[in-house]
Amino acid sequence: MKKALILLSVLAAPVAGVVALEIGGLTGFKQLWQILLFVWPASIALIWILVSRPLGVSIARRQGAVSWSGLSKFFHWFMAFCMFGTAALMYYMVNLGDTEDPIVRAEYSFLLKQHKSIGLIVLFLVAFRFVWNRVQTRPPAAVGITPSQHMASKASHHFLYLAMLVVPLLGWMASMTYGGRTFFFGLFELPVWLPKNIDWAYVLQPAHIWGAWIMFGVVAIHATAALWHHFVRRDATLAQMLPGAQGRPQGD
């Protein structure tokens, strides 16, 4: 019954989102990203359920895989959600239209604050992940992983950790050099430690954008490799990070 209710909620969420946006008068192609942002959590939940059961659990049990800990899984999936969410926000923002229009400008300003705040979540949490990595050890690789695959996985993880630190930091620095202020969901203001310098802003802003593109390219490779291991090789690489995997939990 519980699983049925979850699935029903997942299926109903997109419909509810579209209806809500129609009532609010948010129609047209440019509003597509608002619909996607609304149904994003439901999509994540649906993928989580479909991918993890029953294949993920059966693989983990059969191979005696050691699962990542609950906190590690939270870090992994919540930060992934934040990264894609803040990117979707920015994509929508740059397609709003004429920012000289007061209404468009107000919406752009509001969304920019959310973009910054969600990016700061990634910046803050990656610091916690660094600490968590020192406290807990990684679980052993799934059965059948070759040394070259292990090295490639390790290299991509190191790059992604670096990118999750550098990309938000570049965005924060770009905001300061443009003369902007950065608040975390209106709760507190971050310190300004760089002076306004438009020349530097024109360097830092593109670096932030290109860094994000490169990061998402590696994320795409990372996700593709995980799905290949899960559905083609049918090993426990992805199953170790999914709910329901058996074994002694470890850190991330």
Does some domain include residue 247? no
Does some domain include residue 184? yes
pLDDT in tens, 130-153: 888 777 767 776 666 777 877 888
Q: For position 250, what pLDDT does the model report?
A: 44
168 burial level (CB within 10 Å; 0-12, 13-18, 19+): buried
Poorest-confidence range of 6-20, 181-195, 199-213? 6-20
Instruction: Give the largest CA-CA distance in the chain.
Output: 60
188 beta partners = 184
* Domain total of the chain: 1
pLDDT of residue 204 exceeding 60: yes
End-to-end CA distance of the chain: 32
pLDDT in tens, 162-182: 999 999 999 999 999 999 999
CA atoms within 13 A on the CB side of 112: 17
d(CA 119, CA 223): 21
User: Domain residues for 195?
Assistant: 2-241
What is the pLDDT averaged over residues 24-52?
A: 51
Mean pLDDT of the chain: 74
Q: For position 44, what pLDDT does the model report?
A: 55
pTM above 0.95, yes or no: no
What is the pLDDT averaged over residues 170-199?
A: 91
248 pLDDT tier (thresholds 50, 70, 90): very low
Angle, helix 2-23 to helix 32-51, in steps of 10 degrees: 170
Give Cβ neighbours of residue 16 (< 8 Å, ≥ 6 apart): none
Does some domain include residue 43? yes
36 pLDDT tier (thresholds 50, 70, 90): low
pLDDT in tens, 216-233: 999 888 888 888 877 887
Poorest-confidence range of 86-95, 203-212, 239-248? 239-248
Does some domain include residue 252? no
CB 67 within 8 A of CB 139: yes
